[in-house]
Amino acid sequence: MPIQFEKVSYTYEKKSPFAHDALKGVDLLLEEGKTSAIVGKTGSGKSTLIQQMNALLNPTEGKVIIGDFINSANKKERSKDLFSLRKKVGMVFQFPEYQLFEDTVEKDVAFGPRNFGMKKEEALQAAHEALRRVGLDESFDKRSPFQLSGGEKRKVAIAGILATKPSILVLDEPTSGLDPASAEETMALFEEIKKDGTTLILVTHDMDLVLKHADQVVVMEEGEIKKVCTPEELFSLSLEEYSLDTPKVYRFAKKAIEKGIPLSLEGLHDVSSLAEALCKALRKEKK
Protein backbone atom coordinates (compact mmCIF):
# COMPACT_ATOMS: atom_id res chain seq x y z
CA MET A 1 0.00 0.00 0.00
CA PRO A 2 1.53 3.32 -0.97
CA ILE A 3 0.79 6.44 1.04
CA GLN A 4 0.10 9.63 -0.79
CA PHE A 5 -0.15 13.09 0.74
CA GLU A 6 -1.95 15.72 -1.33
CA LYS A 7 -1.53 19.32 -0.17
CA VAL A 8 -1.90 18.33 3.44
CA SER A 9 -1.95 21.06 6.05
CA TYR A 10 -2.51 20.59 9.73
CA THR A 11 -3.12 23.24 12.36
CA TYR A 12 -3.13 22.36 16.04
CA GLU A 13 -5.93 24.02 18.04
CA LYS A 14 -7.39 25.88 15.14
CA LYS A 15 -9.27 29.08 15.98
CA SER A 16 -7.60 29.63 19.30
CA PRO A 17 -4.65 31.76 20.38
CA PHE A 18 -2.64 28.54 20.52
CA ALA A 19 -3.15 27.82 16.82
CA HIS A 20 0.01 26.40 15.31
CA ASP A 21 0.57 25.33 11.71
CA ALA A 22 2.44 22.07 12.08
CA LEU A 23 2.11 21.01 8.43
CA LYS A 24 1.94 23.40 5.50
CA GLY A 25 0.81 21.99 2.16
CA VAL A 26 2.69 18.71 2.20
CA ASP A 27 2.83 16.74 -1.08
CA LEU A 28 4.53 13.39 -0.69
CA LEU A 29 4.49 9.85 -2.01
CA LEU A 30 5.80 6.99 0.13
CA GLU A 31 6.19 3.90 -1.98
CA GLU A 32 5.16 0.39 -1.10
CA GLY A 33 7.80 -2.00 0.22
CA LYS A 34 10.44 0.68 0.75
CA THR A 35 11.96 2.21 3.84
CA SER A 36 11.37 5.93 4.03
CA ALA A 37 13.15 7.96 6.68
CA ILE A 38 11.63 11.22 7.84
CA VAL A 39 14.20 13.59 9.28
CA GLY A 40 14.24 17.18 10.45
CA LYS A 41 14.75 19.39 13.46
CA THR A 42 12.75 19.00 16.65
CA GLY A 43 9.33 20.51 16.10
CA SER A 44 9.50 20.32 12.32
CA GLY A 45 6.28 18.31 12.17
CA LYS A 46 7.47 14.73 11.77
CA SER A 47 5.23 13.23 14.42
CA THR A 48 2.31 15.26 13.12
CA LEU A 49 2.96 13.96 9.61
CA ILE A 50 2.95 10.30 10.56
CA GLN A 51 -0.19 10.60 12.66
CA GLN A 52 -2.05 11.47 9.48
CA MET A 53 -1.13 8.03 8.15
CA ASN A 54 -3.49 6.11 10.40
CA ALA A 55 -6.01 8.89 10.86
CA LEU A 56 -5.16 9.69 14.46
CA LEU A 57 -5.18 13.21 13.12
CA ASN A 58 -7.29 14.38 10.23
CA PRO A 59 -5.75 16.99 7.94
CA THR A 60 -7.19 20.48 8.27
CA GLU A 61 -6.62 20.86 4.52
CA GLY A 62 -5.89 18.40 1.72
CA LYS A 63 -5.98 14.63 1.96
CA VAL A 64 -3.90 11.54 2.61
CA ILE A 65 -4.58 8.41 0.59
CA ILE A 66 -3.49 5.18 2.27
CA GLY A 67 -4.34 2.33 -0.08
CA ASP A 68 -8.11 2.52 -0.35
CA PHE A 69 -8.53 4.66 2.74
CA ILE A 70 -8.91 8.39 2.29
CA ASN A 71 -8.08 10.62 5.25
CA SER A 72 -9.35 13.94 4.05
CA ALA A 73 -10.03 17.35 5.55
CA ASN A 74 -13.45 17.00 3.97
CA LYS A 75 -15.58 14.91 6.31
CA LYS A 76 -17.79 13.61 3.52
CA GLU A 77 -14.83 12.32 1.57
CA ARG A 78 -13.19 10.71 4.59
CA SER A 79 -13.35 6.90 4.76
CA LYS A 80 -15.15 5.49 7.76
CA ASP A 81 -13.41 2.18 8.28
CA LEU A 82 -10.76 3.23 10.80
CA PHE A 83 -10.57 -0.28 12.13
CA SER A 84 -9.10 -1.92 9.04
CA LEU A 85 -6.86 1.10 8.42
CA ARG A 86 -5.29 0.77 11.86
CA LYS A 87 -4.93 -2.93 11.37
CA LYS A 88 -2.91 -2.28 8.22
CA VAL A 89 -0.90 0.65 9.54
CA GLY A 90 0.94 -0.19 12.74
CA MET A 91 2.38 2.74 14.63
CA VAL A 92 5.05 2.72 17.30
CA PHE A 93 5.10 6.01 19.16
CA GLN A 94 7.92 8.16 20.38
CA PHE A 95 7.34 7.07 23.98
CA PRO A 96 5.66 3.68 23.56
CA GLU A 97 6.38 2.68 27.15
CA TYR A 98 3.36 4.74 28.18
CA GLN A 99 0.86 2.42 26.57
CA LEU A 100 1.47 -0.68 28.68
CA PHE A 101 -1.34 -1.58 31.05
CA GLU A 102 -1.93 -5.32 31.35
CA ASP A 103 -0.58 -7.36 34.27
CA THR A 104 1.66 -9.56 32.16
CA VAL A 105 3.86 -8.83 29.17
CA GLU A 106 2.27 -11.49 26.98
CA LYS A 107 -1.24 -10.20 27.62
CA ASP A 108 -0.17 -6.69 26.80
CA VAL A 109 1.37 -7.75 23.52
CA ALA A 110 -1.73 -9.82 22.71
CA PHE A 111 -3.97 -6.82 23.35
CA GLY A 112 -3.63 -5.42 19.82
CA PRO A 113 -4.23 -8.71 18.00
CA ARG A 114 -7.25 -9.35 20.26
CA ASN A 115 -8.69 -5.97 19.35
CA PHE A 116 -8.20 -6.70 15.69
CA GLY A 117 -10.29 -9.83 15.99
CA MET A 118 -7.93 -12.70 16.76
CA LYS A 119 -9.04 -15.47 19.11
CA LYS A 120 -7.38 -15.58 22.50
CA GLU A 121 -5.02 -18.50 21.81
CA GLU A 122 -4.16 -17.18 18.40
CA ALA A 123 -3.39 -13.76 19.86
CA LEU A 124 -1.16 -15.24 22.56
CA GLN A 125 0.66 -17.22 19.92
CA ALA A 126 1.22 -14.07 17.88
CA ALA A 127 2.36 -12.33 21.05
CA HIS A 128 4.96 -14.96 21.84
CA GLU A 129 6.20 -14.88 18.28
CA ALA A 130 6.55 -11.11 18.37
CA LEU A 131 8.27 -11.15 21.76
CA ARG A 132 10.84 -13.65 20.51
CA ARG A 133 11.37 -11.49 17.44
CA VAL A 134 12.23 -8.41 19.47
CA GLY A 135 14.62 -10.50 21.53
CA LEU A 136 12.71 -11.04 24.77
CA ASP A 137 12.78 -14.68 25.86
CA GLU A 138 10.15 -16.82 27.63
CA SER A 139 11.15 -15.53 31.05
CA PHE A 140 9.52 -12.19 30.16
CA ASP A 141 6.12 -13.62 29.18
CA LYS A 142 4.61 -13.67 32.64
CA ARG A 143 6.37 -10.66 34.09
CA SER A 144 4.61 -7.38 34.78
CA PRO A 145 5.38 -4.80 32.10
CA PHE A 146 5.81 -2.16 34.79
CA GLN A 147 8.83 -3.88 36.29
CA LEU A 148 10.85 -3.78 33.10
CA SER A 149 13.63 -1.36 32.25
CA GLY A 150 12.90 1.49 29.84
CA GLY A 151 14.47 -0.30 26.90
CA GLU A 152 12.63 -3.55 27.65
CA LYS A 153 9.34 -1.68 27.88
CA ARG A 154 10.04 -0.20 24.51
CA LYS A 155 10.70 -3.64 23.07
CA VAL A 156 7.43 -4.91 24.53
CA ALA A 157 5.60 -1.98 22.99
CA ILE A 158 7.20 -2.67 19.61
CA ALA A 159 6.24 -6.34 19.94
CA GLY A 160 2.68 -5.19 20.67
CA ILE A 161 2.53 -3.59 17.25
CA LEU A 162 4.41 -6.33 15.41
CA ALA A 163 1.97 -8.91 16.75
CA THR A 164 -0.84 -7.26 14.78
CA LYS A 165 1.15 -7.94 11.56
CA PRO A 166 0.67 -4.57 9.87
CA SER A 167 1.52 -4.08 6.21
CA ILE A 168 2.82 -0.57 6.89
CA LEU A 169 4.95 -0.05 9.96
CA VAL A 170 5.43 3.51 11.16
CA LEU A 171 8.14 4.05 13.76
CA ASP A 172 8.63 7.31 15.64
CA GLU A 173 12.23 7.31 16.89
CA PRO A 174 12.22 3.59 17.67
CA THR A 175 15.82 3.43 18.84
CA SER A 176 16.09 6.44 21.11
CA GLY A 177 16.73 5.25 24.64
CA LEU A 178 18.00 1.84 23.56
CA ASP A 179 21.61 0.82 24.06
CA PRO A 180 23.61 0.63 20.81
CA ALA A 181 23.45 -3.17 20.63
CA SER A 182 19.67 -3.24 21.16
CA ALA A 183 19.24 -0.41 18.67
CA GLU A 184 21.23 -2.40 16.14
CA GLU A 185 19.15 -5.54 16.86
CA THR A 186 15.90 -3.63 16.59
CA MET A 187 16.88 -2.16 13.26
CA ALA A 188 17.97 -5.58 12.04
CA LEU A 189 14.54 -6.83 13.05
CA PHE A 190 12.86 -4.09 11.03
CA GLU A 191 15.02 -4.97 8.03
CA GLU A 192 13.83 -8.55 8.35
CA ILE A 193 10.21 -7.49 8.58
CA LYS A 194 10.72 -5.38 5.51
CA LYS A 195 11.72 -8.51 3.59
CA ASP A 196 8.16 -9.79 4.07
CA GLY A 197 7.03 -6.81 1.97
CA THR A 198 6.20 -4.49 4.84
CA THR A 199 6.55 -0.79 4.12
CA LEU A 200 8.66 0.94 6.74
CA ILE A 201 8.39 4.57 7.71
CA LEU A 202 11.04 5.67 10.13
CA VAL A 203 11.26 8.96 11.99
CA THR A 204 14.70 9.47 13.43
CA HIS A 205 17.46 11.89 14.37
CA ASP A 206 20.12 9.25 13.87
CA MET A 207 21.66 9.82 10.44
CA ASP A 208 23.73 6.64 10.67
CA LEU A 209 20.49 4.69 10.74
CA VAL A 210 19.13 6.68 7.82
CA LEU A 211 22.20 6.00 5.73
CA LYS A 212 22.21 2.32 6.56
CA HIS A 213 18.54 1.47 6.30
CA ALA A 214 16.58 4.00 4.28
CA ASP A 215 15.77 3.84 0.58
CA GLN A 216 14.38 7.33 0.59
CA VAL A 217 14.81 10.34 2.90
CA VAL A 218 12.22 13.04 3.48
CA VAL A 219 13.68 16.21 4.97
CA MET A 220 11.19 18.35 6.85
CA GLU A 221 11.53 21.89 8.08
CA GLU A 222 8.87 23.94 9.82
CA GLY A 223 6.03 21.84 8.50
CA GLU A 224 7.23 21.75 4.90
CA ILE A 225 8.97 19.09 2.85
CA LYS A 226 12.39 20.49 1.93
CA LYS A 227 13.77 17.57 0.03
CA VAL A 228 12.96 14.00 -0.97
CA CYS A 229 15.92 11.94 -2.19
CA THR A 230 18.12 8.95 -1.49
CA PRO A 231 20.38 9.06 1.58
CA GLU A 232 23.53 9.09 -0.61
CA GLU A 233 22.24 12.12 -2.45
CA LEU A 234 21.34 13.93 0.75
CA PHE A 235 24.60 13.30 2.58
CA SER A 236 26.83 14.18 -0.33
CA LEU A 237 25.29 17.68 -0.19
CA SER A 238 26.29 20.13 2.47
CA LEU A 239 23.88 19.53 5.30
CA GLU A 240 24.22 22.78 7.21
CA GLU A 241 21.28 24.16 5.34
CA TYR A 242 18.97 21.60 6.96
CA SER A 243 20.88 21.48 10.25
CA LEU A 244 21.25 17.72 10.04
CA ASP A 245 24.17 15.66 11.21
CA THR A 246 26.46 13.96 8.71
CA PRO A 247 26.65 10.20 9.34
CA LYS A 248 29.92 9.06 10.89
CA VAL A 249 30.77 6.95 7.86
CA TYR A 250 30.41 9.95 5.56
CA ARG A 251 32.33 12.21 7.90
CA PHE A 252 35.19 9.76 7.91
CA ALA A 253 35.10 9.35 4.14
CA LYS A 254 35.02 13.09 3.52
CA LYS A 255 37.97 13.63 5.87
CA ALA A 256 39.86 10.86 4.11
CA ILE A 257 39.21 12.47 0.74
CA GLU A 258 40.46 15.77 2.15
CA LYS A 259 43.68 14.03 3.17
CA GLY A 260 44.16 12.80 -0.36
CA ILE A 261 42.75 9.28 -0.35
CA PRO A 262 40.59 8.95 -3.48
CA LEU A 263 37.57 7.32 -1.81
CA SER A 264 34.39 6.88 -3.77
CA LEU A 265 31.26 7.91 -1.86
CA GLU A 266 29.06 5.69 -3.97
CA GLY A 267 27.41 2.73 -2.26
CA LEU A 268 28.67 3.86 1.13
CA HIS A 269 26.16 3.00 3.82
CA ASP A 270 27.82 1.41 6.83
CA VAL A 271 31.16 0.53 8.38
CA SER A 272 31.81 -2.55 6.26
CA SER A 273 31.10 -0.79 2.98
CA LEU A 274 33.37 2.03 4.17
CA ALA A 275 36.18 -0.42 4.90
CA GLU A 276 35.72 -1.93 1.48
CA ALA A 277 35.83 1.42 -0.26
CA LEU A 278 38.90 2.36 1.76
CA CYS A 279 40.72 -0.85 0.81
CA LYS A 280 39.83 -0.35 -2.82
CA ALA A 281 41.14 3.20 -2.78
CA LEU A 282 44.36 2.24 -1.03
CA ARG A 283 45.01 -0.65 -3.40
CA LYS A 284 44.51 1.65 -6.34
CA GLU A 285 46.96 4.08 -4.76
CA LYS A 286 49.62 1.36 -4.41
CA LYS A 287 49.43 0.51 -8.06
Partner 1 sequence: MSSITMGRYVPYRSPIHLLDPRTKLVCLVLLVVSVFLGYANYSTTFLMTGLSLLLVLVLFAMTRMSFLSLLKSLKSLWFMLIFLLLIYAITPRSDNLDWVAFFIYDYPIYWASILDALKILVRLMLMVALSLILTASTKPLDLTAGIEWYLSPIHFLGVNTAAWAMVLSLALRFIPTILEDVQRIMKAQSSRGVDFKRGKLTVRARALISLVVPLVVSSLVRSDELGDAMEGRGYDPRSKRTRYRKLTFHWGDLIALLLCAAFCALCITMSVTSFDPFLTWFGVTVR
Ligand X SMILES: Nc1ncnc2c1ncn2[C@@H]1O[C@H](COP(=O)(O)OP(=O)(O)OP(=O)(O)O)[C@@H](O)[C@H]1O
Q: Which residues are catalytic?
A: 173
Residue 213: closest CA among 28, 31, 37, 29: 37
- Residue range at the interface with Mg ion (CB under 5 A); choices 9-17, 42-50, 235-243, 257-265: 42-50
Is 36 a residue that touches ligand X (CB under 6 A)?
A: no
Q: Are 64 and 28 in contact (CB under 8 A)?
A: no
Pick the binder of ligand X from 16, 42, 147, 272 (CB under 6 A). Answer: 42
Pick the binder of ligand X from 9, 47, 79, 167 (CB under 6 A). Answer: 47
H runs (alpha helix) in the chain: 46-51, 82-88, 105-115, 120-133, 150-162, 180-195, 207-213, 231-236, 248-258, 271-286
Measured from each CB, the residue nearest to ligand X is 47
Is 128 a residue that touches ligand X (CB under 6 A)?
A: no
Measured from each CB, the residue nearest to Mg ion is 47
Q: Which of helix, strand or coil describes residue 211?
A: helix
161: partner contacted, choices Mg ion, ligand X, partner 1, none (Cβ within 5-8 A by kind): partner 1
Q: Are 5 and 62 in contact (CB under 8 A)?
A: yes
CB of 165 to ligand X, least distance (A): 26
CB of 180 to partner 1, least distance (A): 25
Amino acid identity at 151: G
List the interface residues with ligand X, window 147-166 (CB under 6 A): none
Cβ neighbourhood burial of 14 (10 Å; 0-12, 13-18, 19+): exposed
List the interface residues with partner 1, window 104-143 (CB under 8 A): 111-112, 115-116
CB of 211 to partner 1, least distance (A): 28
Is 48 a residue that touches ligand X (CB under 6 A)?
A: yes
Q: How far is it, in rounded angstroms, from Cα 150 to Cα 163?
A: 20
CB of 199 to partner 1, least distance (A): 16
List the interface residues with partner 1, window 211-240 (CB under 8 A): none
Question: Within 13 Å and on the Cβ side, how many CA atoms surround 253?
Answer: 28
Q: How far is it, in rounded angstroms, from Cα 178 to Cα 149?
A: 10
Amino acid identity at 37: A
Q: Which residues form the interface with Mg ion (CB under 5 A)?
A: 47
Q: Which residues form the interface with partner 1 (CB under 8 A)?
A: 13, 16-18, 51, 54, 56, 82-83, 86-87, 89-91, 93, 95-96, 98-101, 111-112, 115-116, 146, 160-161, 164
